[in-house]
Structure 1
């Protein structure tokens, strides 16, 4: 039988605190090899040290305890590696988001006024195929991508061509209450028949203050800030949903730097220049 250690000695050997070891025991992640029935003292074997070291390193990589348990209980090496690879991919995505946020912050600190100019224009009423739903801001990106893909797939299946760039209409509640109505639409020269979530709509005419945001939506708040400042300064604001027009997007190019999104804020136009 392998040599055993008290919980204190095992803590020193593995750099896991006694409190942590007791917690891991309670959740059955790392159970003692023996528990004295009279005193309740826990003892661990030296064979458990590698498992404790693995757990500690997974925790250093922010792997949730339930995922660590799944890794340790994996039926074979392939299943174990699949779980580890999934967590590493999640870490890489988080790192990419952090790098994007750092780059955006550096740009903001370097030149806080470096945004596109604002102009005013009127858009006419437009026939379109659309999908509408009530969405939370946390789900908005996934919902938008799914709706846009479904719209284009439906139009392709029916042999209907888009007559302009896709767009979105977003209720004020999406910004103020983190949940509200959103509509994704694709303009069409001919009216489409309803099919599933896809329905024919007429996007109403509107007078808008507009700004074109270049790149991904990671720092689109800068464009929104400039647009809000312009509208407030000119006392033009009217109630109504925000519009976005996706002039160049991921359907056109995978290069995020080439993406162009036009943002429209409803206004009462006075004809003043931007």
Structure 2
């Protein structure tokens, strides 16, 4: 095998470390052309250098190894190009989130937390269709979107109209332990037949200190912080899940800047708050 390279020379030729090459061999991503049965020494063909260079560039773009394997084994150019385009789209979405986070951080550092109007609301016990599950905090936004879509579809199938904006209730553990009970509900009257994850319930009454967050949910922590500071200084907080009411949300418009979410913090109403 005159055109074969030792793993050391192949490492130098491709700028992939020996450790990385061994790992790629183990997972079947880039296998050597020959492995000595006695010594275990690996040898690579010079024809494998372009494949190694492709892999290195995909990894520089943070493409997962499973996706790289799928690209390299794609049966045709159309499938390969589709896989690459999908990864580039994910990168662009990640870049947009990074740019948004940078802009938010710069605004926070330069302007601090802007004053916001704090309200108070007495919520009566309300019949509703709900989905309630234990979820991780990293997944709660996607879970909420899926649950809300399922609730709306179920009510539409049963010809039941909503009596108000959808809402959510989130247990303390979801924030403190990054895993806990999340509930999404749509207020409605009428006999709801359980279907899939959807069940009927009554959302309990509560006294709430409220604040309205305008914009995407990624920025909602700032409104939470303002509301928490107000409650700590001016209210008597009580145990109970935090609430959100989605006055304008993804189901109403794709324009995230137009979203309006009312956050409710459970309090003990003394009769002196307006």
Number of aligned residue pairs: give it: 273
Is 1:138 aligned with 2:158? no
Residues 121-177 of structure 1: CA deviation (Å, up to 9, x unaligned): 212222222222222223322221122112222222233222211111222222222
Is 1:177 aligned with 2:177? yes
| 1:122–1:11 Cα change, 3 Å | same
**Which residue of structure 2 lines up, in the alignment, with residue 161 of structure 1?**
161
Post-superposition offset of 1:75: 2.5
Post-superposition offset of 1:107: 1.8
**Which residue of structure 2 lines up, in the alignment, with residue 71 of structure 1?**
71
Conservation of the 8 A alpha-carbon contact between 2:125 and 2:204: yes
Distance 1:187 1:37 in 2: 69
Is 1:192 aligned with 2:188? no
Distance 1:193 1:130 in 2: 10
User: Mean alpha-carbon deviation: is it higher for 227-236 or for 37-46?
Assistant: 37-46
Distance 1:172 1:142 in 2: 19
Post-superposition offset of 1:258: 0.5
Distance 1:116 1:40 in 2: 68
**Which residue of structure 1 lines up, in the alignment, with residue 202 of structure 2?**
202
Structure 1 residues not aligned, in runs of 5+: none
CA RMSD between the two structures: 2.2
| 1:85–1:39 Cα change, 3 Å | same
SS in structure 2 at match of 1:268: coil
Distance 1:32 1:182 in 2: 49
TM-score of the aligned structures, taking structure 2 as reference length: 0.89
Is 1:26 aligned with 2:26? yes
Post-superposition offset of 1:33: 2.8
| 1:29–1:181 Cα change, 3 Å | closer
Conservation of the 8 A alpha-carbon contact between 1:162 and 1:187: yes
TM-score of the aligned structures, taking structure 1 as reference length: 0.89
**Which residue of structure 2 lines up, in the alignment, with residue 214 of structure 1?**
214
Residues 88-123 of structure 1: CA deviation (Å, up to 9, x unaligned): 222222222212211221121122121522122212
